[in-house]
């Protein structure tokens, strides 16, 4: 058993590992935040397609969610991380035969997490769509708004309010899913904690620290969403 002082290991600086883990936590947050807008946008459009009157749109959207909710996150990640370079290389070599393609693990993680997040958030958006009465659309059309304008100015503000609690859950699982990207060598919280664990042999300590980081992120997000919910509630029309 190594017998270094754990307080030195947990210090900030060259002997300690907390700075590395804190840097990893920043990467985790950055990855989750970068995924969020893409995932929300795709999820919204997928939900829109799912409740459309056009059957072909519904079919396409249903295939999307079936695939990305059915595949394990890890499998999707590996498919993209190993498959995308092969495909890209094939395309690029048509023009520049010498080229090699490497995919950045942050980018691969972002794409995969967006796909997963959007397929889950689309379900939340879909149930929110169903909660909005038809009269809202009809009212929008009746005052001369186009389809897109009605969606943007009448439906979307109500939709976001209804969908918010569900989206909070999606966000929490997105935060947790970022840990998976450590498997393809992205230097995020878990990866850096793992490096620290391997070097110092204090595995339990450093994996507990990683768990604490994720717990703190979860707690911070619930505080933040609590604030947003309260301000949403205050603005609600009565």
Partner 1 sequence: MSVVTRAAVDIEKPPPRARGWPRARIVGYALVGFWILFGIGIVTYLVFAWNGEFFARYAPAYLQGLWTTLALVAISMVLGALFSLPVTYARMSKNRYLSVLAYCYVYFFRGTPLLVQVYLVYYGLGSFRVQLESVGLWWFFRDAFNCGVFAFALNTAAYQAEILRGAIESVPRGQWEGAASLGLHKLQTLRKVILPQALIVALRPYGNELVLMIKASAIVAIITVYDLMGNAKLAYAKSFDFQAYVWVAIVYLVMVEILRHGVEWIERRITIHLKR
Q: Which residues bind partner 1 (CB under 8 A)?
A: 1, 49, 52-61, 63, 66-67, 69-76, 78-79, 82-83, 86, 172, 176-180, 182-183, 190, 194, 197, 201-204, 207-208, 210-211, 214-215, 218-219
Q: Give CA–CA dist 101/83, Å, rounded.
A: 11
Reduce the DSSP state of residue 117 to 3 states and report it: helix
Closer to partner 1 by CB, 86 or 228: give it.
86
Q: Give CA–CA dist 29/4, Å, rounded.
A: 30
The answer to whether the beta carbons of residues 10 and 18 sit under 8 Å apart is yes
How crowded is residue 191: how many other Cβ atoms within 10 Å of its Cβ? 23
Closer to partner 1 by CB, 71 or 161: give it.
71
Q: Give CA–CA dist 35/100, Å, rounded.
A: 26
Minimum CB distance to partner 1, residue 130 (Å): 17
Minimum CB distance to partner 1, residue 234 (Å): 28
Q: Give CA–CA dist 132/50, Å, rounded.
A: 15
CA nearest 172: which of 229, 238, 120, 102?
120
Q: Locate 113 and state its tokens.
A: 């997490």
Closer to partner 1 by CB, 40 or 46: give it.
46
Minimum CB distance to partner 1, residue 131 (Å): 19
The answer to whether the beta carbons of residues 108 and 84 sit under 8 Å apart is yes
Minimum CB distance to partner 1, residue 196 (Å): 12
Minimum CB distance to partner 1, residue 147 (Å): 9
- Helix and strand numbers (H, E) in the chain are 10, 0
Closer to partner 1 by CB, 58 or 161: give it.
58
CA nearest 89: which of 71, 75, 103, 104?
103
Closer to partner 1 by CB, 74 or 228: give it.
74
Minimum CB distance to partner 1, residue 98 (Å): 20
Minimum CB distance to partner 1, residue 195 (Å): 12
Reduce the DSSP state of residue 34 to 3 states and report it: helix
Closer to partner 1 by CB, 91 or 232: give it.
91
Q: Give CA–CA dist 214/25, Å, rounded.
A: 8
Closer to partner 1 by CB, 56 or 237: give it.
56
């Amino acid at each position: 058993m190594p017998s270094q002082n754990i307080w030195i290991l947990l210090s900030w600086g060259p002997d300690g590992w907390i700075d590395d883990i804190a840097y990893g936590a920043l990467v985790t947050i950055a990855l989750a935040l970068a995924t969020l807008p893409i995932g929300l946008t795709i999820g919204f459009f997928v939900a829109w397609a799912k409740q459309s009157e056009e059957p072909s749109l519904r079919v396409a959207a249903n295939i999307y969610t079936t695939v990305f909710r059915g595949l394990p996150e890890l499998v999707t990640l590996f498919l993209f991380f190993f498959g995308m370079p092969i495909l890209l290389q094939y395309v690029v070599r048509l023009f520049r035969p010498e080229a090699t393609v490497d995919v950045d693990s942050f980018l691969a993680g972002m794409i995969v997490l967006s796909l997963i997040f959007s397929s889950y958030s689309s379900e939340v958006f879909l149930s929110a769509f169903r909660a909005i009465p038809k009269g809202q659309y009809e009212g929008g059309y009746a005052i001369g708004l186009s389809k897109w304008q009605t969606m943007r100015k009448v439906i979307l503000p109500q939709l976001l309010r209804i969908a918010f609690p569900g989206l909070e859950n999606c966000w929490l699982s997105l935060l947790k899913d970022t840990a998976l990207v450590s498997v393809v060598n992205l230097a995020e919280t878990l990866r850096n904690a793992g490096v620290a664990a391997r070097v110092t042999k204090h595995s339990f300590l450093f994996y507990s620290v990683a768990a604490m980081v994720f717990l703190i992120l979860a707690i911070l997000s619930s505080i933040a969403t609590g604030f947003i919910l309260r301000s949403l509630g205050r603005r609600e029309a009565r």
